[in-house]
Amino acid sequence: MDRRLKAFLCSAGVIVAVSCINSFVFAASSSKFAAKVNGVGIKSETLDIAVNNFVERQKVAGRELEEKDKAALRKAVLDELISAELLYQESKRAGLGDLKEEIDKQYENIKKGFASNDEFKKILKERGITEKELKEDIEKGVYINTYLQQKLYPTITISEEEKRAEYERHKDKLDVPDQVRASHILIKIPENATDSDRQKLKEKIESIRQRALSGEDFAKLAQENSEDGTASRGGDLGYFAKGVMIKPFEEAAFSLTDIGQISPVVETQFGYHIIKLLDKVPAHTMTYEEVEPALTRYLENQAREKKIDELVESLKKKAKIEIY
């Protein structure tokens, strides 16, 4: 299954039952079904809306689905909806207890996303769904998520050997270029500035530079004087490599050698800057320790997907699935 489709049909890490709650993709009432799972119907409207919504989201992302691919997409979406129904039915058999409080909480959170209760009811009416049907959809999502969190995911363990093997497989892609972390103070030069105006602005930033060199707090000077959006955080630009900033600024930042060093005044298309070097990181391959948390999350997600797929396949073998 295409990962983009899985992401579309998922919320909080699980397949959302039937109606893709977070997107308000709901089905109108109908007696026509695209499929039945152990006697429970999946409405044709639910399938149509899920397919159309996925196509529209791809368009927004700049990806146009070709006509020849639409039949395969429809089949894939239906398969995911069947999987969701199977997971919901399994979760109901699992003895998870009373989940009403969480269902009510999620329902209220959805309502809070609207300007008023009237607007909320208006949208529901336009979508052809009742508040009862909405709650049923939320219930399915809550039960599936709870089941996976309590019964399935705890069975997953990622060993140190697995993580180190994954690191070695991708080590050649973990090269980090030279980076610096810098703060700056910007005094803008208006488009219509005269030579006299430019000289005054340059003198202004030079006086700020002298104050910084004499020991005044650079971050505070940035907050009080900088005309850049970074002023509120003391001019901090974070870490950046070559090729990110405009050339004069980059050259000045990377020419600084000592932590805490302040540059001469630098002129760019934005105005006059002074730059303070906060840190310098030489080019290196990221260590196992640096990427271990991300590796763990990645391998856990891979393992979760595999476990869900295996569970769904086992449920399909025991289920009565009718596709119309």
- Which of 48-52, 202-206, 223-227, 292-296 has the lowest average pLDDT? 48-52
Residues 245 and 316 in one domain: no
pLDDT, one tens digit per residue, over 277-309 is 999 999 999 999 999 999 999 999 999 999 999
Instruction: Flag whether pLDDT at 26 surpasses 80.
Output: no
CATH number for the domain that contains residue 94: 1.10.4030.10
- Mean pLDDT over residues 153-180, rounded? 94
Residue 166 lies in a domain: no
Residues 138 and 273 in one domain: no
Instruction: Flag whether pLDDT at 99 surpasses 60.
Output: yes
Residue 113 lies in a domain: yes
Residues 181 and 247 in one domain: yes
Residue 10: per-residue pLDDT? 44
Residue 163 lies in a domain: no
Residue 274 lies in a domain: yes
Instruction: Flag whether pLDDT at 7 surpasses 80.
Output: no
CATH number for the domain that contains residue 236: 3.10.50.40
Residue 169 lies in a domain: no
Residue 246 lies in a domain: yes
Residues 135 and 207 in one domain: no
Instruction: Flag whether pLDDT at 1 surpasses 80.
Output: no
Instruction: Flag whether pLDDT at 249 surpasses 70.
Output: yes
Residue 78's pLDDT band, with cuts at 50, 70 and 90, is: very high
Instruction: Flag whether pLDDT at 11 surpasses 90.
Output: no
User: By residue range, what is the domain housing residue 112?
Assistant: 3-158+294-323
Residues 13 and 63 in one domain: yes
Domains in the chain, number: 2
Residues 298 and 230 in one domain: no
Residues 8 and 139 in one domain: yes
Residues 273 and 298 in one domain: no
Cβ atoms of 263 and 180 closer than 8 Å: no
Residues 206 and 279 in one domain: yes
Residue 131 lies in a domain: yes
Residues 302 and 266 in one domain: no
Residue 289 lies in a domain: no
